Amino acid sequence: TQTVIRSSDRLCFALKSSILPHQGITESFGAAIQALNAIHLTDGVITRSKRMMLDTLGVGLLGSRTAVFSKALKYSQVFTSEQRSSVWGRSDVILPPHYAAFVNGIAVHSMDFDDTWHPATHPSGAVLPALLALAETLPSQPSGLDLLLAFNVGIEVQGRLMRFSKEAYNIPERFHPPSVVGVMGSAAASAKLLGLSPAQCSHALAIAASSAGAPLANAATQTKPLHIGNAARRGLEAAQLAQIGVEGNPAILDMDSGLGVYYKDYSPSPLADSDSGAFRWILDAQDVAFKRIPAHLAMHWVVEAVLAARAKFLDRTGNFDLSQIQNITLRVPRSKYINCPLPTTEHQARHSFQFNACSALLDNKVTVASFSQAQINRPALRELLSKVQLETPEDNLPSFDRMYCEVEIKSAEGLSSLARCNTFYGHWRKPLSQKDLEEKFSLNASTVLCTEGVEGVIDVVGNMEKVTECSVLGSYLRMTSTSEQLYSMRIM
């Protein structure tokens, strides 16, 4: 009898799905999140997502020593729970999973050093902190492959949602994209790791949509890193609320009054069935950009162009004397929130074409240290800033796929030097070599971790698909470099 019931169930199911002419968009997302499997991961996607993980951990470790991180951590420490998740780069702090996701997400974006995708968002910071915080609390430890799969689900959902609006292809003006799609990505990834049903996955997205959307005005302030921290935290929360049975609108992605509220030209489409052969990971077709300086992505074009123009200028004049410079013209896309002529805080400096151009001109490089208050306040730099003119040519579009930067330096004697950057090193068209990516990671991570920790993380992430328990990553992330903590580590 059992077999009969089962086959009739299947028949019913088959009938139902043939009766329904088309699946809802949200429904297709819920189904895909549940159905995607490790066998669907391609080699290309595995390689690229491992690079994203390594870079995210590095910038997160470095970010765990920032002022905004400390404030958020102190606030988060009021909360306790039986489930405990670690804070990256802290051997001594344990937080409830939501708050671990929150502070680690803040760390990742605290310096604006994390990856950027096209259309523009910072995809990893919303996902990885949520997943690692959640993984630590699960009764059976996910494997490295489980983690990679959930991570890619979180990235994929963000990429799909970004493509629901043409407007989203450009540098934003209204909502900060990671606050819109990031929380959805975190919810999807968390739902995947929790093994939720297709319906629960849809509800997780619906609940997460009510936590989405932060205005762009808070870019270039301490609150911007909170956008990523909150995306990670509240996506995880949404998945767990869905798990215990909370429901939202099951058509949240289908409606203008759903996720559509965050866009002016919302046009959603379903996610292909992962088994139909029509499914392709966006990450396979569109790689991410990795930053080489802790600043808004657009600054990277400026810095490369300025360095080239500086070298030419030096060739002509023989020596570099700032007082010879009469004016500096930057030809960049029009985008108000990264046009900041006289930044006073590090967060403004990370969002200032002018500051990054002048720093590069003055120091022949832009580094983590360039954004310290002392460096920002240098009189020589302020002097240079006063000589900058910004031009926004019509053909220079505010899109990370199409923008360029042109720099012209003119001296009092009428000498001029012109340079242009179309694609900086680190952009998806010109990706960082694995060696440079690992070097960036090592530099960032070693500010916090001991050598063993740094190498351990590189090793685990590099072999992620073969790791049996992803928790091993957490143990390396706690190997801090102070001698006292090293000592206690050895005793253990």
Partner 1 sequence: MTRVEKPHSDVMQDCKRNLPFLLLCHKSISILHCSAAASKRNKKQDHCDRNLKSCSPRYRKPSDQCGLPEDCITLQWRLNNFYLFIPAVQKHPAPEDTVTASFGKFISEIKPQHLSPVVLHRSKRMVLDSIGVGLIGSRTDVFELALQFCQHMYAPDHISSVYGRRGIRLSPTLAAFVNGVATHSMDFDDTWHPATHPSGAVLPALFALSDMMPANSKPSGLDFLLAFNVGIEIQGRLMRFSNEARSIPKRFHPPTVVGPMGSAAACSRLLSLDPSQCSHALAIAASLAGAPMANAATQSKPLHIGNASRLGLEAALLASRGLEASPLVLDAVAGVAGFSAFYEDYVPQPLESPDDGGHVFLLEEQDMAFKRFPAHLGMHWVTDAAAAVHELLVGHGLGQVSPHQVQDILLRVPQSKYINRPFPESEHEARHSFQFNACSALLDGEVTVQSFSPPAMSRPELHFLLSRVRMEHPEDNPANFNRMYGEVQVTLVGGDILKGRCDTFYGHWRNPLTNESLRKKFRSNAEVVLPSEKVERLVEVVEELDRLDDCGALLSQLQ
Which amino acid is located at 151 in the chain? F
Scan for tokens 């988060």, then name that residue. 76
Near partner 1 by CB under 8 A: residue from 86, 190, 202, 230: 230
User: Among 5, 19, 244, 285, which residue sits at the site for partner 1 (rule: CB under 8 A)?
Assistant: 244
Nearer to partner 1, 50 or 227 (CB): 227
Distance CA 28, CA 34 (A): 10
Q: Is 190 an interacting residue with respect to partner 1 (CB under 8 A)?
A: no
Output 340 or 467, the one with its CB closest to partner 1. Answer: 340
Rounded CA-CA distance 407/139 in Å is: 56
Looking up tokens 């002016």 gives: 264
The site map against partner 1 for 329-368 (x = CB under 8 A) is: -----xxxx------xx-----------------------
Residue by residue, DSSP assigns 139-177 as SSPPPHHHHHHHHHHHHHHHHHHHTTBSGGGSPPSSB-H
**What tokens were used for 161?**
């949602």
Q: Are 158 and 191 in contact (CB under 8 A)?
A: no
Measured CA to CA, the distance from residue 386 to residue 444 in angstroms comes to: 32
Binding residues for partner 1, rule CB under 8 A, total 64
Least CB distance from residue 103 to partner 1, whole Å?
Answer: 12
Question: Is the C-alpha dihedral spanning 414, 415, 420, 426 positive or negative?
Answer: negative
Cβ closer to partner 1: 220 or 299?
220
> Residue 148 to residues 75, 77, 137, 265: CA-CA distances in angstroms?
31, 29, 17, 32
154 binds partner 1 (CB under 8 A): no
* Binds partner 1 by CB under 8 A, chosen from 40, 65, 163, 174: 174
Among 85, 179, 359, 375, binds partner 1 (CB under 8 A): 179
Torsion of CA 268, 272, 273, 278, to 10 degrees: 170
Output the smallest distance, CB 248 to partner 1, in A: 4
Site for partner 1 in 41-100 (CB under 8 A): 68, 71-72, 74-75, 77-83, 96-98
Number of residues written out for the chain: 492
Tell me if 176 sits within 8 A of 214, measured CB to CB: yes
Choose the stretch contacting partner 1; rule: CB under 8 A; options: 109-117, 162-170, 215-223, 472-480. 215-223
What is the tally of helices (H) and strands (E) in the chain? Answer: 21, 6
Nearer to partner 1, 227 or 440 (CB): 227
Q: Which positions from 96 through 135 interact with partner 1, judged by CB under 8 A?
A: 96-98
Closest CB to partner 1 among 264 and 466? 264
257 touches partner 1 by CB under 8 A = yes
Cα 275 to chain centroid distance, Å, stands at 28
Q: Is 280 in the site for partner 1 (CB under 8 A)?
A: no
CB of 328 to partner 1, least distance (A): 23
Q: How far is the CB of 222 from partner 1 (least distance, A)?
A: 5
Give min distance, CB of 140 to partner 1, in A: 18
Supply the minimum distance, in Å, between the C-beta of residue 27 and partner 1. 14
The answer to whether 251 contacts partner 1 (rule: CB under 8 A) is yes
138 contacts partner 1 (rule: CB under 8 A): no
Stretch that binds partner 1, among 11-19, 125-133, 256-264, 296-304 (CB under 8 A): 256-264
Instruction: Please check whether residue 213 is in contact with residue 179, taking contact to mean a CB–CB distance below 8 angstroms.
Output: yes
How far from the centroid of its chain's Cα atoms is residue 374's Cα?
28
What the block records as the tokens of 375 is 């460096």
Asked if 175 touches partner 1 (CB under 8 A), the answer is yes
**CA 62 to centroid of chain Cα atoms:** 15
Q: Which of 24, 125, 129, 260 binds partner 1 (CB under 8 A)?
A: 260
Scanning 15-23, 182-190, 243-251, 406-414 for contacts with partner 1 by CB under 8 A, the matching segment is 243-251
Number of other residues whose CB lies within 10 A of the CB of residue 151? 29
Among 222, 352, 370, 444, the residue binding partner 1 under the rule CB under 8 A is 222
Q: Which is nearer to partner 1, 209 or 325 (CB)?
A: 209
Nearest one of 140, 240, 146 to 190, comparing CA atoms: 240
Phi, psi of 244 (to 5 degrees): -85, 0
In the complex with partner 1, the residue whose CB is nearer, 8 or 257, is 257
Structure tokens at 75: 């606030």
| CB contact at 8 A, 428 and 422 | no
Which residue ranges make up the site for partner 1 (CB under 8 A)? 68, 71-72, 74-75, 77-83, 96-98, 173-176, 179, 206-207, 209-223, 226-227, 230, 240-241, 244-249, 251-252, 255-262, 334-337, 344-345
